[in-house]
Amino acid sequence: MRIMGLDPRFGANYVPSSGWFYSWLDYDGDAVRRDFADLAGLGLDHVRVFPIWPWIQPNRAILRERAIEDLLDTLDAAAEHGLSVAVDLIQGHLSSFDFLPSWVLTWHKASLFEDSTVRDGLTAYVDTVARAVAEKPNLFAITLGNEVNNLWPDSPTTAGASTAWAGELLDTVRKAAPDVLALHSVFDDAWYKADHPFLPTDAVDLGDLSTVHSWVFNGVSRVDGPMGPATLSHADYLVELAAATSLDPSRPVWLQEVGVPGPDIPAELQAEFTRRTVEHVLPNPALYGVTWWSSHDIDRRLLDFPDREYDLGLFTVDHERKPAAQALAEVIASVRANGVPAEPAVTTLTAPINLRTQPGRRPEVAPGSDFHLQWVAARTDGPVRIALP
């Protein structure tokens, strides 16, 4: 929870302005420092960074020291700009692309979540990288990977296997880096899709706090348009679902990804969407922090991305501050000066299902469901807690 009235954290998911994540192949520390200067200028306090797993461990027996050194320099660059760092390990999935080493593909093809040989390789990778970054004083968190449930069904698994997989790797992180948060991250199929083998309980029981990723292209924006109450409150709704599902009433929830995807949020509305979305979720007492996706746009000279991925940055590739960035900076400045506004009177709605024990009924709380629409209607009058039956 927000301990002793402390304000929430604000950060950005770091997408390099030059070369996207391909830049890890030809690392340029000066370019990274220029990007971090942009972010520090907004008043952010942290970044989430994404080393690419197969470029560090191209063979199960090889962990490239040079690649790890580049990651460590990124942490140093962040520290120089007053930014703390969360490192995601298993990439895994980024901006619609999957990055997997050849030793889990072709004739080696095996499930990341169920094959013991792959798990041995992953354990070595997680242990080695976690130990290296743990030496940096500005590291505050290690997440297993970015939305690792995107790697299913190409890596078949079951609910029991996926939970055990995450639990074992989190133990590895904790042993390697005992002084930082160890986290497990999933996208929202875990909350909304009936047959998904990653469960809501994975998000709220595993790791040291809960993380949620709020993307309105998941159907929310079709409920009532780019500036409708369902769209503007979706981040708060996910934070509420996570808080309600946790057995620990004091467990924080990190809004680890939220952004302004087009065409769901047209360019001319992105600043207002940013301001109102963040203002909706800020007073929630469960909120740990808000981390925007993403820091910088993707250069349109790079091919084959879905169109919405190119323009999600707070900054252009030429380091120009975009309207969403200005709106976010203004909210941050207000919070720093005045604190988070106190919550008005709170109401409570009981969900029709228990997400802990009835994951097969998850669509009953998905965007557009009767319960979701009831919550949205009530939310227009003020904060609404969710209770599970």
Q: Of the candidates 259, 335, 331, 386, which has an alpha carbon nearest to the alpha carbon of residue 2?
A: 335
For 346-355, write each residue's pLDDT tens digit.
Answer: 999 999 999 9
* pLDDT (0 to 100) of residue 43: 98
Residues 141-156 have a mean pLDDT of 95
For 160-215, write each residue's pLDDT tens digit.
Answer: 999 999 999 999 999 999 999 999 999 999 999 999 999 999 999 999 999 999 99
Q: What is the dihedral of CA 87, 92, 93, 99, to 10 degrees?
A: 120
Close Cβ partners of 384 (under 8 Å, ≥ 6 residues apart): 240, 346, 347, 348, 349, 375, 378
Q: pLDDT band at residue 6, thresholds of 50, 70 and 90? A: low
62 lies in a domain?
yes
Distance CA 365, CA 270 (A): 26
83 lies in a domain?
yes
What is the count of structural domains for the chain?
1
Using DSSP's 3-state secondary structure scheme, residue 180 falls into coil
378 lies in a domain?
no
277 lies in a domain?
yes
80 lies in a domain?
yes
Pairing of the two strands 253-258 and 287-293? parallel
* pLDDT (0 to 100) of residue 192: 98
* pLDDT (0 to 100) of residue 4: 36
17 lies in a domain?
yes
Q: pLDDT band at residue 345, thresholds of 50, 70 and 90? A: confident
Mean per-residue pLDDT of the chain = 96
365 lies in a domain?
no
Q: Are the beta carbons of 153 and 57 closer than 8 angstroms?
A: no
Give the Cβ contact number of residue 282 at 10 Å.
Answer: 23
224 lies in a domain?
yes
Q: Of the candidates 342, 382, 47, 388, which has an alpha carbon nearest to the alpha carbon of residue 236?
A: 382
Distance CA 248, CA 389 (A): 16
Residues 346-371 have a mean pLDDT of 98
Tell me which residue range forms the domain holding 277. 3-346
Residues 61-83 have a mean pLDDT of 98
Classify residue 213 as left (phi > 0), alpha (psi -120 to 50) or beta: beta
Give the pair of three-digit tokens for residue 72. 């460590």
Residue 52 is part of a domain; what is its CATH number?
Answer: 3.20.20.80
Residues 318-334 have a mean pLDDT of 98
For Cα atoms 294, 157, 167, give the angle at the middle one, nearest 5 degrees: 70
